[in-house]
Structure 1
């Protein structure tokens, strides 16, 4: 068994659930969770991207608000499905929020980490005529969409004109330009093809609790470790290439008996799907980890995928209450993180 790397960066991921009859309250709770993350010393907070659901549909807007209520914690998306985005407009929004995050930062640098993926959007056939009324069947959902976003964030030309038109001044590149933002782009990959593409393109890799089994191997941790090793073997930075893991991890140290019972029931209900590949794409799901920080640290350090990373974005369960998230994050930062070698940010 390989020896785990000391955990260098601790982050968390939230879906930002809200009541459709009172969406403001849920969004405010998400912002309070991000503020708590900063107070606890977390390095990053990540937002899931959900469309036509009761979770965050506009993480960039939420990140913009969060930049004005925090000064240190980094903010990311995990992930934004680019099939629903225009890479031109997305680059403008990301760069705008990144410069706002830098202006409201103790270090004066951007804090945004765009995580993206490609492919046809989920349930695309049900709403494509509203998304792309004239081009729905012509849209390109390949990696080319990521290439366009990277081109735009890098400040490469998107227009053949710059200069004055009357009293207005025009630029060739996306404005504002935020130097360094393109280096903080992550790709959410779970297949060998996506991992290889991300490595050769030189972006960072987000690997989660869902991957693809493409051989006879059905042990999640072994498959994930193989994907991470492939990524670093092909990436220009080699072993220094950044990989973040996103398992569901629920510490119970300070949980009430009722909370601990609900957490165990949640994990047990999701356990059957982890026993074998699911569906024609052979999707593999990692078991949710529930227990004391000592138990979780033992499980994680024995996990072949975790052994290869030094940064994580542990996923918060979708359906818990705000008080549950406060307890889970507090135990993560004060008990589990230190057992894994992590130190909270000052």
Structure 2
């Protein structure tokens, strides 16, 4: 089990892929350029968020397919695909196809539950089957069965000159072991462990347990990580990746530093207490020099239990800001955490 004294083994980053709806191409091109930069800087992984009916990437698998042809080494992930919007069989085909194109570098992260704003979108998404759709963990299990090569149909053989398989095609060996679940509660962490998935721990958790002394984000997330590993077949060796928002300022201009601190300050109130009916608790954004951020991370109870991270980039910054942040993470923060860039 990783501890704060062990070096960080894998360093990744996560982006939403923001774009201008009036001219979406530059935003998508910027995301691909950041992934290429990440590979050049030695990052181990690059991850895309998933946004439907918003001005962020709605089809991360399509974007990652493009990224496979512009990179050779960096792992490519989704954090996360909400399965309520997906047909598991079709998604299994897309995931395997991109994994094949990447040479086995895809790390699909998924989650379950009804789509956001379900009452507003269900008529467009599932006009005939909305009431029958199952948004439980069974939807993930269906996806896992197809990815693992279990039968999708009872028919296989030759019909005329066409050959049919009873399994999703293509099959990509190893993909099943690179499937991640985005969990924010003890229940989801336990389920992911019981089903042998990897765990994506983000900057959002569900506040659970007694709150006499107030909720501490790190303590809540630590409990979820322990619950996951306690139920995973690999125990303490089960993979967990943490996705906090970190913004190093080492090489930032004075203008950039002011922007970053204003951004973090605007989001700070939501970190003081659980938010909304889901009782979501948000981690504070970490802004400062790499030395300052490393000190805070080493004191973070949940960070002490992981040796993989996918630090989240802020949503609304400019391309040059992301270049500066990624460069500082790779050249200053990562080394301060004991990480060494990939060759």
Q: Mark yes or no: TM-score above 0.5.
A: yes
- Note the C-alpha offset of 1:225: 0.8
Cα 1:206–1:4, aligned 2, differ >3 Å: closer, same or farther? farther
1:317 to 2:318 alignment: no
Alignment of 1:36-75 (within 5 A): 36-75=37-76
Alignment of 1:97-116 (within 5 A): 97-102=98-103, 110-116=104-110
TM-score under structure 2 length normalisation: 0.98
1:329 to 2:306 alignment: no
Asked if 1 retains the 8 angstrom alpha-carbon contact of 2:193 and 2:233, the reply is: yes
Greater than 6 Å deviation, 4+ residue runs: none
Cα distance in 2 for residues equivalent to 1:5 and 1:185 = 25
Equivalent residue number for residue 169 of structure 1: 163
Q: What's the Cα RMSD here?
A: 0.8
Equivalent residue number for residue 106 of structure 1: none
Asked if 1 retains the 8 angstrom alpha-carbon contact of 2:4 and 2:303, the reply is: no
Asked if 2 retains the 8 angstrom alpha-carbon contact of 1:11 and 1:46, the reply is: yes
Asked if 2 retains the 8 angstrom alpha-carbon contact of 1:4 and 1:306, the reply is: no
Asked if 2 retains the 8 angstrom alpha-carbon contact of 1:5 and 1:309, the reply is: no
1:141 to 2:108 alignment: no
Equivalent residue number for residue 125 of structure 1: 119
Cα distance in 2 for residues equivalent to 1:339 and 1:58 = 34
Cα distance in 1 for residues equivalent to 2:65 and 2:131 = 33
Residue 7 of structure 2 aligns to a residue whose secondary structure is coil
Cα distance in 2 for residues equivalent to 1:3 and 1:89 = 41
Equivalent residue number for residue 183 of structure 2: 189
Equivalent residue number for residue 294 of structure 1: 291
Asked if 2 retains the 8 angstrom alpha-carbon contact of 1:5 and 1:308, the reply is: no
Of 227-236 and 76-85, the range deviating more from structure 2: 227-236
Q: Deviations over 1:163-210 (max 9, x none)?
A: 100000000100000001011000000011101100100100001000
Asked if 2 retains the 8 angstrom alpha-carbon contact of 1:12 and 1:316, the reply is: yes
Unaligned runs of 5+ in 1: 103-109
Cα distance in 1 for residues equivalent to 2:4 and 2:123 = 51
- Note the C-alpha offset of 1:3: 3.2
Asked if 1 retains the 8 angstrom alpha-carbon contact of 2:113 and 2:135, the reply is: yes
Equivalent residue number for residue 336 of structure 2: 339
- Note the C-alpha offset of 1:4: 4.3
- Note the C-alpha offset of 1:281: 2.1
Aligned length: 338
Cα distance in 1 for residues equivalent to 2:4 and 2:251 = 29
Asked if 2 retains the 8 angstrom alpha-carbon contact of 1:213 and 1:223, the reply is: yes
